[in-house]
A and B are shown apart, each in its own frame.
Chain A
Amino acid sequence: MSADLEARIPGFLRGVRLQRDRVRDQWIVQAPERAFIVDTIAASILQRVDGDATLAAIIDALATAYDAPRDVIARDVIDMVEDLTARQVLVCKS
């Protein structure tokens, strides 16, 4: 189950992107007719979304970068990617 989920490759929908808001010193997602703030955890995940990396690779990279238990990171990443997919920010291919 988890291996299947982690084989998916997330990418940004056309017209949606992560961007540094240098004036307000924060990360934002820009989308059609809206922009919203993302916290540093979400930003650290989204910075690794490039349309090539699998969820497994993103989870591995984050577990190493933050020296954190892989299963905890995996749950956060999968939940967030599912939420952002429903909100028309990300699209997953397998």
Chain B
Amino acid sequence: MTIPFPMSLLAELTHRCPLQCPYCSNPLALENVRNELPTDVWMRVLNEAADLGVLQAHFSGGEPMARKDLPELVRGAAKAGLYVNLITSGILLDEASFIPLVDAGVDHVQLSFQDVTPEGADLIGGMKNAQGRKLEAARVIVAQGVPLTLNFVVHRLNVERIPQMFDLAGELGARRVEIAHTQYYGWGLKNRATLLPTRAQLEQSEKDVASARARFGREMAIDFVTPDYYADEPKPCMGGWGQRFINISPSGRVLPCHAAETIPGVSFPTVLKDSLESIWTKSDLFNRFRGVDWMPAPCRTCDRREEDWGGCRCQALALLGDASATDPVCRRSPDRGLIDAAIAESADAPLIYRRMSNHKS
């Protein structure tokens, strides 16, 4: 099998974050600041990524603006020819912190909002008065002329406010909006019973997004991520394992997706030991679920096997304890009943916030 060139690098610079969202995509075992990669290693890695074919670098976290060397890293990525996307909560973003990033060559900002109401935002972020800072961050970004995407993660507690989310995006001058239903891994899985929307809510969210598309036309790009629990077929996670996407953790582990650290029995490759090229092409982790040869039945003979690539490995692991099983979201999976049971189990339980102290390993 020929190995494709990767398109996209998600650089998780740190797990430090002022927010504590209960669906955070970071692993349950958060990385301590003293294990974070130093500037010079990131600079080498960014150049290796560009040489390997990566076109876009996404600086994320945690909160990437917690890294003091972010302007230097942005400059390094831009110099390597990478398109630089900043994925931020906006809590630390003001004119003084943003202008150095603009000067360094940041191309685009994706700013997260937890809700449109201050109360809803505080409840999810676990921080008082976050919303005002985010609104101010959006104004600073737009005033600097940098294209802005607003990202809303939606779930049972805020999904009914999608129309107001689009109103806010229009008022702030965002060029793109992402409405992303929560994905249930790690922290999200811990809070699934509280966050999973009902089928009626999902259907309403589809209608609300369709109306927004009609309202804004080509003035606003809209991305909509549906919750796969209500689908009949799994999503092609990351466009296929080791096909397009590289994730690097704060300590330098190189992963095919941000949840892959949960997979047992593999040694995780790290940029401290190997080049990105060697990890991408030769490591056991990247080759383990690449292509179709690893697939179990019913995927192996399925006519969708090169469309959804067997679905999400981390979801199979999290729900079935086996990363090489068919994603249980699929109607053809013998374990689909687990998903239907989860849908039936939703209940209003207190949220478990993303904090080091909320994970006992």
Contacts and interface: CB of A to CB of B under 8 A. Distances in A.
Contacts of A78: none
A88 B149 CA distance: 14
Contacts of B5: 23-24
B55 A21 contact: yes
B108 A23 contact: no
Interface in B45-85: 51-53, 55-56, 81, 83, 85
A14 interface: yes
Interface in A6-38: 13-15, 17, 19, 21-24, 28, 30, 32-33, 35
A33 B85 contact: yes
B107 interface: yes
Contacts of A33: 56, 85, 108, 110, 149, 176, 221, 223
Please classify the interface of chain A as helix (H, G, I), strand (E, B), loop, or mixed, using the class held by over half of its residues.
Answer: loop
Contacts of B51: 23
A14 B108 CA distance: 9
B175 A88 contact: yes
A28 B55 contact: yes
Contact of A88 (B108, B145, B218, B223): B218
B176 A19 contact: no
Interface of A: 13-15, 17, 19, 21-24, 28, 30, 32-33, 35, 86-88
Interface of B: 5, 7, 51-53, 55-56, 81, 83, 85, 107-108, 110, 145-147, 149, 175-176, 218, 221, 223
